[in-house]
A and B are shown apart, each in its own frame.
Chain A
Amino acid sequence: MSKIKEKFAELSAKKEKALIAYIMVGYPNENATMAAVRGLIKGGADIIELGFPFSDPLADGPVIQNASMISLNNGTKINRFFNIVKKIRKETNIPLVLMTYTNILYHKGYSKFITEAKNAGIDGFILPDMSIEESKEYIASAKNMADTIFLVSPNTTKSRIEKIAKISSGFLYLVAVYGTTGVKTEIQNYSLKAIKDVKKIIGGKIPVGVGFGVSTPEDVKKYIKAGADAVIVGSAFLKLIEDTPQNKRESSIEAFTKSLKRQTVIK
């Protein structure tokens, strides 16, 4: 059983939902990344998504675009990224998911990249520009190595959701809103409806995580109430990292994580 799957089983037994936190590695530097990871773990995050920067992040809003650029300018490279993953692995057993764009894996070779990532301690992948039609080699390379987490959207058809769910592992990532990451709007009714619909279509075969624009404890509460098995918070963490001096990063991330995690416990 994959580490991600185990985590969901463990949470389910405790009647809890998952809090998944996203941070961009190397933003604004490696020390900040380590401080953030420690804060996330102390605060009770269940899964951590580690962003590897790509020069052209077309599914991302301004916050992650900016973080990607700064991380790249700071010299974040694949090997350095894997070294950070190894460092994190020495401190924790938490499931780690790598989020980046298709070209990064394609360029190195899917199999080679996934093997190296797995050896460093990565448990799954999210590639927002990887469609199921183009995923054959990617899926084959990840088989028995790591989970492949695909995305669905509120406008994805029923038959397509079924297809995507079938080749996804770990969890299914439901993009809550029409838009890029980190764009804050009121929670939309169509988003809540999408959660219910997707859950119904896949009938518990795989957990559903909701992300994009999830940034406050209130958001978490509403999405969990609507039936999400996990919530994914990203840009809000990056903003907090940006706004906090290094010596306070770990504690402020911890406090914010706690405030989010509290909402995932079903009373």
Chain B
Amino acid sequence: MKYPKEGRFGEFGGKYIPETLVPAIEELEENYLKFKDNKEFKKELDYYLKQYAGRPTPLYYAKNLSEKCGGAKIYLKREDLLHGGAHKINNTLGQALLAKKMNKKRIIAETGAGQHGVATAMACAVLGIKSEVYMGYKDTIRQKLNVYRMNMLGSKVHPVKSGSKTLKDAINEAIRDWITNVETTYYLLGSAVGPHPYPVMVRDFQSVIGEEIKVQMKKISNKSPDTVIACVGGGSNAIGTFYPLVDTNTELIGVEAAGKGLKSKYHSATLSAGTKGVLHGMMTYLLQDEEGQITETHSISAGLDYPGVGPEHSYLKDTKRVKYHSATDAEVIDAFLMLTRTEGIIPALESAHAIAEAMKVAKRSKKSESIVVTLSGRGDKDVEEVQRYLNKHVKN
């Protein structure tokens, strides 16, 4: 849906927000509509994306991995090579530039794995805006390195100790800050979630991924890829990958975190196992109990550890345009190690979910087919977590 009327993707999306935020959301939408097609704004954003962030990113043919799987050709969309090490910078540069146009002096953000926090801190540093980041206390421990990075970049990190102490609670706390400082503060949401216009705005800023894939694939094989795969937590890299391809014949697969298995309580597979509900300003699929209380989630990757999902994904699931599968922690670790050893590329644990799915799909596809996987981030932040997992689960 190009620009969803009333902020709805089918029945999903909308704006379920405290009244105090209504003027801020209206101001944001007004400015986004004003600037999104503005030539000067686009030129400036394009400059930063190219010269600062490192776009376009390569579409790399992972020959060794493809041969190992013995089927389709696997291509990696190397968002991990972007400045900061993840796709998050596409969105933070866009929104921080918008905030600057709106004359906002203070930016707040939430972060799960810390990648969006780091990308926010970077964009704010280069554009000269003060930034503060909310991060679940549990995640500040899992992703300590990113906390240091944010601090060094000049951003203040607030560990959030309420609720499950992860991404969902970081969003709650960022919203509370926004309610309190609504007149001075810009909330830079990192995923394609939240009240309208965030889901569409984040999608638009991330769509550069899918646009590039289309052009690059055409050069390589003169056609659209057969299958495109991306991991889904809130779903920003996935929607940015899928959206430009929705009108093609390409098979689109989103991969959620199955954690310790969909039958266990320990997963974050919202689309695979969730029900409809309202959280963080949007109507979407959620992981919740029989009374509508949001349940705690689990994933080995902090970035996917979220009980909701972007409303456009809910719409794409219900309309069956995108298939949503999942990968367990164990499969993810296998994929992580496989890519690391065959290609010398250390993927983020989030992205390793997509790799795990690609390996499955490749094995059952023909050699003439092509699969594109969005490698949303690099895994330097995760090596400690992976080592911990291996120490616990693999007995030599």
Contacts and interface: CB of A to CB of B under 8 A. Distances in A.
Interface string B275-290: 1111111010010100
A155 B279 contact: no
Interface stretch (A5-13, A174-182, A229-237): A174-182
Contacts of A128: 18
A106 B12 CA distance: 13
Contacts of A65: 162
Interface in A53-86: 54-59, 61-62, 65, 69, 72, 77-78
B18 A78 contact: no
A77 B278 contact: no
A102 to B, nearest CB: 5
Nearest to A161: B19
Interface stretch (B175-183, B261-269, B354-362): B175-183
Given A103-B278, A107-B288, A55 B293 contact: yes
A62 B16 CA distance: 21
A133 interface: yes
A121 B65 CA distance: 64
Contact of B277 (A58, A106, A160): A106
A128 B179 CA distance: 12
A248 B281 CA distance: 40
A152 interface: yes
Contacts of B293: 54-55, 72
B18 A59 contact: yes
A178 B288 contact: no
Interface residues of A, number: 40
Interface in A155-179: 155-157, 160, 164, 175, 178-179
B172 interface: yes
Given A104-B292, A106-B292, A133-B15, A55 B163 contact: yes
Contact of A155 (B169, B183, B295): B183
A178 B292 contact: no
B37 interface: no
Contact of B179 (A54, A59, A72, A131): A59
A157 B293 CA distance: 33
Nearest to A54: B293
- Of B175, B278, B286, most A-chain CB atoms within 10 Å: B278
A243 interface: no
A73 B107 CA distance: 34
A140 interface: no
Interface in A134-166: 134, 150-153, 155-157, 160, 164
B390 interface: no
Contacts of A151: 18-19
Interface in A114-142: 128-131, 133-134
Contacts of B23: 155-157
Contact of A160 (B22, B180, B280, B291): B22
Contacts of B179: 59, 178-180
A58 B6 contact: no
A225 interface: no
A78 B180 contact: no
Contacts of A152: 19
A56 B279 contact: yes
A178 B172 CA distance: 16
Nearest to A173: B19
Task: Identify the interface centre among B16, B276, B277, B286: most chain A CB within 10 Å of its CB.
Answer: B16
Contacts of A178: 20, 179-183
18 contacts: A56-B294, A58-B172, A72-B293, A77-B291, A102-B16, A103-B278, A103-B294, A106-B277, A106-B292, A108-B291, A131-B17, A133-B14, A153-B22, A160-B22, A175-B18, A178-B20, A179-B180, A180-B180
Interface of B: 6, 14-20, 22-23, 162-163, 168-169, 172, 175-176, 179-183, 275-281, 283, 286, 288, 291-295
What 6 A-B pairs are tightest by C-beta distance, nearest first?
A: A107-B292, A153-B20, A179-B180, A103-B278, A55-B294, A55-B293
Given A103-B277, A104-B292, A178-B181, 17 more contacts: A56-B169, A58-B18, A58-B176, A77-B291, A102-B278, A103-B294, A106-B292, A131-B19, A133-B14, A133-B15, A151-B19, A153-B18, A153-B19, A155-B23, A156-B23, A180-B176, A180-B180
